[in-house]
Amino acid sequence: MAAKQQLTKNPAMPTLGAMKIPQNALRDITEDPDLGIHLSDGCRLSARIWKPADANENPVPVILEYLPYRKRDGTTARDALTHPWFAARGYACLRVDMRGNGDSQGLMHDEYAPQEQADAVEVINWLAAQPWCNGSVGMMGISWGGFNGLQVAALAPEPLKAVITLCSTVDRFADDIHYKGGCLLNENLGWGATMWSYSSRAPDPALRSDWRKMWLERLEAEPFLPSVWLRHQRRDAYWKHGSVIEDYAAIKAKVLAIGGWGDAYKNAVPQLVEALPDAKGIVGPWVHKYPHFAVPEPRIGFLQEALRWWDRWLKNDTNNVENDPDYRAYLMDGVRPATWYRQRPGRWIAENSGATSHLETRTLHLTDAGLATDPAPLGQTISSPAHTGAAAGEYCAIWLGPEMPGDQRSDDGLSTTFDSAPLANDMDIVGAPRVSLCLTSDRPQAQIAVRLNHIHPDGASTRITYGVLNLSHRISAEVPTQMPRESQQVTLTLDHIAYHVPAGHRLRVSISNAYWPLIWPSPQPGTLLLSQGEITLPQRPSGQKDEYRFEPPTAADPWETIEIRPENHVRRQETDLVTGIVTLIIEDDFGKVRDADHGLINGSIARERWSIHPDDPCSARGECHWTDEIERDGIRLRTEARCAMTCDATHFHLKARIVAFENDKPVYERDVIDSIERDQM
């Protein structure tokens, strides 16, 4: 296959270097920070719009980004880099605050709710009817915006012709921030705490004369979403709603899917490429960011790639974007473990047809002597202390702190491990490794975490990819069944990856029955007996050179702010030598800035603590505390949002509290106390 892979250049961009558009081809643009979109039920959504100044005379397509994350002070930095750039090249770009968020009216009760999607369809139809629109609309977004772009595409509003989805998923139960492999992700509490705070903030008083009324209504209606999500511990109708994997054929828009190997949402890109006609996929080394300013580098000219997509499907330009390789992925060189990388060496590979399902595989067997090419006797126990997993890093690296998985040796020492012999040749793992195990559990409720690691000659251990499985979900996530006493065959698929392991280095499969604080533990400590196992590795001989070249990154002028407090990020692990409790402490101060244009001040601080005793899974405790503040013209508004989760053998216990302050005086407070039965979790 390597001989058939050729360097593919962008057919519309035959040379490297900055994108060449004559200056006189760029259109003057106008901006409106508060365009009102009135929905049929009377709710007014607030949009920020950039569009060519002559769009009324020369109508243009629309690019819609539709989010709850506040266009005025939330996504402003990335909006500034992105939307004016497209507008100058002939597009009307809208950042719409969803109902109940930012400067929009109404109330939001959940993520990806039918109301959210119905509003989006109404917005798209409204946009297509405007005199400055040519009738064609595209949706673009990362994370929440990537999710709802696919979800709205599945509703097939006629004007929606194309979607660019970044860092998203096709299955809300299997691959979001709630559950993974049927295990409860602690991000369910962590991101729930984030939204508990985010959506509690007031509109900008400069834009809404009734801002105080809107604010108090939001605070009263604000749901504590971890309680909502925790009431659905199976893949039921709640999760099927909005999961486009249920009916890929419903998506008629042309989809460009983008992800990053440092992000939680890395599986959707190859899944979409394999499932949707004409879909294209790009996966880089990045965390949860747009690729023109993401890290680790190398970045790419995302705006140029997106422009080609929009030009082809929204303007009907014959730029041959449909002839691009179906799947372009960054094959990362195996490097030493670190909790943060500014750059990852490697090269771009390209699959002209499909993503990875057609690639050849190699199977290695788990044996008492390690990883072997042939089956051999195996009889190992897995009995990990509850704090195993401290080196996992963040589930979704996003805040640009020390969030990546570090040296795995500490977790390997608490796991059952299987090492290969030194590799005789380089190995390029491209795709999703699959693990098959024969297990016997002494407890009816159990879980496993499987990590594929790269072992360097000095013993350092870099996590290549991983997967987790609630063993009650081994057959079905919709109808879980507890583990019987007899041996069970289980399989799990690890996350997609593209990773180069040099000759002379080793592979290691590490298996534990705890992975804290990434997933919530099973209710009792237990032991698994492993009597058979194998791992199937998708492989691709990829050569030594780039098979595709992207344009270098470019962007519009950055957001201008005045720094009031610098940002700072802390990750600290502590062990109480008296109690034995092990705690991960996270402090993310995102700083405080003043918008140099309109003067709004905003700042945020997030704090998390994840504690557990190695011998007691029911000692697990998660705590989150967010501070969010906005200020302008003598008005100082602040919310303090706190929550905590504990458990016993039968229930999860949740507590949450929100307090709102105006000029340091409390104006609202509310407490939530909830207990939810564990459902084979």
Residues 134 and 280 in one domain: yes
Residues 347 and 424 in one domain: no
Contact call for residues 607 and 583 (beta carbons, < 8 A) = no
pLDDT tens-digit map of 77-121: 999 999 999 999 999 999 999 999 999 999 999 999 999 999 999
Residues 197 and 167 in one domain: no
Mean pLDDT of 492-518: 98
Choose among 652, 628, 622: nearest CA to 641: 628
Q: What is the pLDDT of residue 597?
A: 94
Angle at 294 between CA 288 and CA 295, to 5 degrees: 90
- Supply 216's token pair: 């108090």
**Domain final residue, candidates 313, 331, 358:** 358
The DSSP H or E segment spanning 85 is: helix 76-87
Residues 259 and 231 in one domain: no
Q: What is the pLDDT of residue 550?
A: 97
Task: Provide the 3-class DSSP secondary structure of residue 81.
Answer: helix
| Amino acid found at 129 | A
**Cα separation values, 586 from 99, 480, 497, Å:** 31, 33, 27
Q: What is the CATH number of the domain that holds 373?
A: 2.60.120.260
Mean pLDDT, rounded, of the chain? 94
Residues 275 and 303 in one domain: yes
Per-residue confidence at 401, pLDDT binned at 50, 70, 90?
confident
Per-residue confidence at 5, pLDDT binned at 50, 70, 90?
very low
Residue with tokens 């610098």: 566
**Domain final residue, candidates 328, 358, 388:** 358
**HSE toward the beta carbon, residue 68, CA cutoff 13 A:** 28
* For the chain, percent of residues with pLDDT exceeding 70: 96
Non-local CB neighbours of 265 within 8 Å, separated by 6+ positions: 143, 146, 167, 168, 169, 175, 259, 288, 396
Mean pLDDT of 619-642: 97
Residues 586 and 667 in one domain: yes
Q: Say if 568 falls within a structural domain.
A: yes
Mean pLDDT of 569-573: 92
Mean pLDDT of 144-148: 96
Residues 116 and 54 in one domain: yes
Choose among 485, 519, 450, 447: nearest CA to 680: 447
Residues 432 and 514 in one domain: yes
* For the chain, percent of residues with pLDDT exceeding 90: 94
Per-residue confidence at 402, pLDDT binned at 50, 70, 90?
confident
Q: What is the pLDDT of residue 398?
A: 86
Contact call for residues 428 and 500 (beta carbons, < 8 A) = yes
Query: CA 325 to CA 321: how far, in whole Å?
Result: 9
Q: Say if 221 falls within a structural domain.
A: yes
Q: What is the pLDDT of residue 20?
A: 38
Residue with tokens 């003598």: 634
Mean pLDDT of 313-330: 97
Q: Say if 643 falls within a structural domain.
A: yes
Query: CA 97 to CA 105: how far, in whole Å?
Result: 9
What are the backbone dihedrals phi and psi of residue 230, each rounded to the nearest 5 degrees, phi first?
A: -75, -10
Q: What crossing angle do the helices spanning 302-314 and 76-87 adopt, rounded to 10°?
A: 50
Residue with tokens 């592979």: 507
Residues 203 and 141 in one domain: no
Query: CA 135 to CA 610: how far, in whole Å?
Result: 50
Contact call for residues 201 and 630 (beta carbons, < 8 A) = yes
Q: Say if 551 falls within a structural domain.
A: no
3-state SS, 184-225, equals EECHHHHHHHHHHHHCCCCCCCCCCCCHHHHHHHHHHHCCCH
Q: Say if 609 falls within a structural domain.
A: yes
Per-residue confidence at 285, pLDDT binned at 50, 70, 90?
very high
- pLDDT higher than 70, residue 538: yes
Task: Give me the DSSP letters along 237-290.
Answer: HHHHTT-GGG-GGG--SEEEEEEETTSS--SHHHHHHHHSTT-EEEEES--SS-
- pLDDT higher than 90, residue 25: no
pLDDT tens-digit map of 418-459: 999 999 999 999 999 999 999 999 999 999 999 999 999 999
Mean pLDDT of 635-659: 98
pLDDT tens-digit map of 609-620: 999 999 999 999
Task: Provide the 3-class DSSP secondary structure of residue 642.
Answer: strand
**Cα separation values, 52 from 32, 59, 61, 204, 593, Å:** 12, 9, 11, 26, 29
* Domain range for 488: 360-539
Q: What is the pLDDT of residue 543?
A: 80
Q: What is the pLDDT of residue 400?
A: 74
- Beta-bridged to residue 493, according to DSSP, are 434
Q: Say if 247 falls within a structural domain.
A: no
Mean pLDDT of 552-559: 96
Mean pLDDT of 467-474: 98
Query: Where are any strands of DSSP class E within 124-188?
Result: 133-142, 160-166, 179-180, 183-184
**Cα separation values, 519 from 415, 449, 514, 675, Å:** 16, 9, 8, 19
Residue with tokens 């407090």: 565
- pLDDT higher than 60, residue 678: yes
The pTM assigned to this predicted structure is: 0.94
Q: Say if 97 falls within a structural domain.
A: yes
- pLDDT higher than 50, residue 601: yes
Task: Give me the DSSP letters along 510-524.
Answer: EEES--TTTBPPPSS
Residues 316 and 350 in one domain: yes
Contact call for residues 523 and 647 (beta carbons, < 8 A) = yes
Per-residue confidence at 3, pLDDT binned at 50, 70, 90?
very low
- Beta-bridged to residue 183, according to DSSP, are 180
Q: What is the pLDDT of residue 12?
A: 31
The secondary structure of the chain in percent helix, strand, coil, rounded to multiples of 5, reads 15, 40, 45
Q: What is the pLDDT of residue 337?
A: 97
Residue with tokens 């092990």: 582
Q: What is the pLDDT of residue 4?
A: 28
- pLDDT higher than 70, residue 19: no
Mean pLDDT of 333-361: 96
Q: Say if 505 falls within a structural domain.
A: yes
Query: Where are any strands of DSSP class E within 306-424?
Result: 327-333, 346-351, 360-367, 370-372, 380-382, 416-419
Mean pLDDT of 338-358: 96
3-state SS, 100-136, equals CCCCCCCCCCCCCCHHHHHHHHHHHHHHHCCCCEEEE
Domain count, the chain: 3
Per-residue confidence at 482, pLDDT binned at 50, 70, 90?
very high
Query: CA 202 to CA 390: how far, in whole Å?
Result: 37
- pLDDT higher than 70, residue 592: yes
- pLDDT higher than 60, residue 305: yes
**Interstrand relation of 60-67 and 92-97 (parallel, antiparallel or unpaired):** parallel
Residues 318 and 385 in one domain: no
Q: What is the CATH number of the domain that holds 68?
A: 3.40.50.1820
The DSSP H or E segment spanning 155 is: helix 144-155
- pLDDT higher than 90, residue 381: yes
Contact call for residues 398 and 586 (beta carbons, < 8 A) = no
**Domain final residue, candidates 331, 358, 385:** 358
Residues 655 and 608 in one domain: yes
Residues in the chain, overall count: 681
Burial label for 50, CB within 10 Å (0-12, 13-18, 19+), is buried
Residue with tokens 């799947």: 327
pLDDT tens-digit map of 46-89: 999 999 999 999 999 999 999 999 999 999 999 999 999 999 99
- Supply 212's token pair: 């105080």
Query: CA 204 to CA 627: how far, in whole Å?
Result: 17
Per-residue confidence at 16, pLDDT binned at 50, 70, 90?
very low
Q: What is the pLDDT of residue 399?
A: 78
